[in-house]
Amino acid sequence: MNGDLASPVSEVQASNSDGEEQVLHNIYLRERLKELHKMMEYDIGSVVERRLSAFQDEHLPVAGCLVAGNSSAASSFTAALTRSHSIHSKGMKKSGELPKREFVPRPSLLKELLTVNHIESIYNIFVAILVLLFCNKVLEETVQTGSPNLDLSLIAWAFGGLDRVIVIWVCMFTSTSVLVYLCFHHWAHHRHTLPVAYDVTAGVMYLVYLCLFLFLPMRSVLHYELPPASSIIVLAEQVRMFMKTWAFVRSNLPRARAYKKDDDTEDDILCPDFSHYLFFLFAPTLVYRDKYPRNETCDWQKVINDLGHVVGCLFYTHFLFARFCVPVFQKFGRESFTGTNLLVAVFSCMFPGSLVLLCGFFAILHAWLNAFAEMLRFADRMFYKDWWNSTSYARFYRTWNCVVHDWLYEYVYRDVVNWQRRQGAGCARLRCVPMLVVFLISSVVHEYILAFAFRFFYPVLLVMFGGFGVAFMFVNSKARQFNIFLWVTLIFGTGILMCLYSMEWYARINCPPVYNGFWDYVVPRSLVCEFSSDSE
């Protein structure tokens, strides 16, 4: 009897649950349709233009390289693309000019996806892994020491010297905000009196400032012997402020140079107000605009949640290194390490290396940037796209980090393309050049941060990013199977990076130096150490 009663009750509960899910599903779809309607109302022409420019960014450099030896194929390809652009870009930009970055109100992709139960379950899986890693660490400490002492000495050491980091950051920010703005403001308002003298003097001073801005923070990192995490904070902020400075000067340079002595121009046209520049320095974007789309309110609960995610990812990374990295490599150089051990170590580093990569993405590109965007009511939060669905490395590089990609496109790629066009048709056909310049700058900056943070030059990332990364750019396919290829190579690459950099780090702890001075920082000690141990 009870079973007969329980069956209808369970059916009613199941139907109620299905009804609730259907209601939530309908609400979600309705909200998404409203947002889609607003975006379509914004500007149909700009949407078409962005799609065409995205097509150009993805396929034009590769196609230009492939058909560089065939002038007729190159000219027909360029002509077809030009006709397609001319249909949709009338009145929107100058003829032949690449489109600029447009800012529109939109949320981050994961913010939307995490409202779906299925995607939220994937997020819960990563949280469960963090809980298990925490329990593993507590159990290990209990067995070894007899008490559940959670050893966080690795984090404390990696972030040591934060007081000096703060002092260095304040100095960098003061020079970037006050010194750069005052000098640019003075130049913009007085260059019309003696254009040549002002331009030459300002150009030389600007280059000297950029050189000092690159040298002094790096010298401070070495002088105070800051540990890796603290060094990365200083060097990453140095690069960020350098890019912000370049973006501000580069964006406002043309309108200041276009001013004539007899023009009736307002001051904010020659040089933006300081409040605009100050907002830009904190805004989660590297592309300067006088105004950005803003939200009406700030939800501080979202800020707290995002900053909590950053802290959680920090502990996540700590547990991964403490569990999978330190025990494997801490005796490197003191015990025999064969080629077989290296291969096993690479494969054992693939899982933790991939999780570290995902933690870094989620902590910085999602949580950290969204926290600042919410605090500043910055509405355009397209910091990344669905890079995990990429079927080519060309699309992966464009969608992984949209913040840096936008800066490289706006101030490097577009400028190189425009320079090529000014040089003539022969130079303009070399469409590989802008892409290679972008890869060169990006790979060198990444290697610069790692080299001075770890105190050794080991160009594994430079070779993989600037070598294999460029080669994989020419592997283009829309087939979903290539997504598997991308993930396999990405996971394998992170395993190699984590393994080789860990070996070199512990080799410099356990192995005596072979060379003195500069060569000790350039020659990998892990190779020399293993060679000498094998010879013995």
- Longest CA pairwise span in the chain (Å): 100
- Is 446 annotated in the active site? yes
How far is it, in rounded angstroms, from Cα 322 to Cα 129? 15
Kindly report the backbone phi and psi dihedral angles of residue 106, in degrees, each rounded to the nearest multiple of 5, phi listed first: -165, 145
Quote the tokens at residue 320: 């991964």
Q: Is 424 left (phi over 0), alpha (psi -120 to 50) or beta?
A: left
According to DSSP, the residues that pair with 378 across neighbouring strands are 294
What residues contact 235, with CB distance under 8 A and at least 6 apart?
Answer: 217, 218, 221, 448, 449, 452, 453
What residues contact 107, with CB distance under 8 A and at least 6 apart?
Answer: 381
First to last CA, the chain: 83
How far is it, in rounded angstroms, from Cα 341 to Cα 303? 45
Of residues 442, 318, 308, the one with CA closest to residue 368: 308
Q: How many helices (H) and strands (E) does the chain have?
A: 26, 0
Residue 241 CB neighbours (<10 A): 20
Q: What is the DSSP letter of 298?
A: -
CB 199 within 8 A of CB 161: no
Q: What is the DSSP letter of 387?
A: G
Catalytic residue among 59, 88, 276, 446: 446
Name residue 373's amino acid.
A
What residues are annotated to the active site? 446
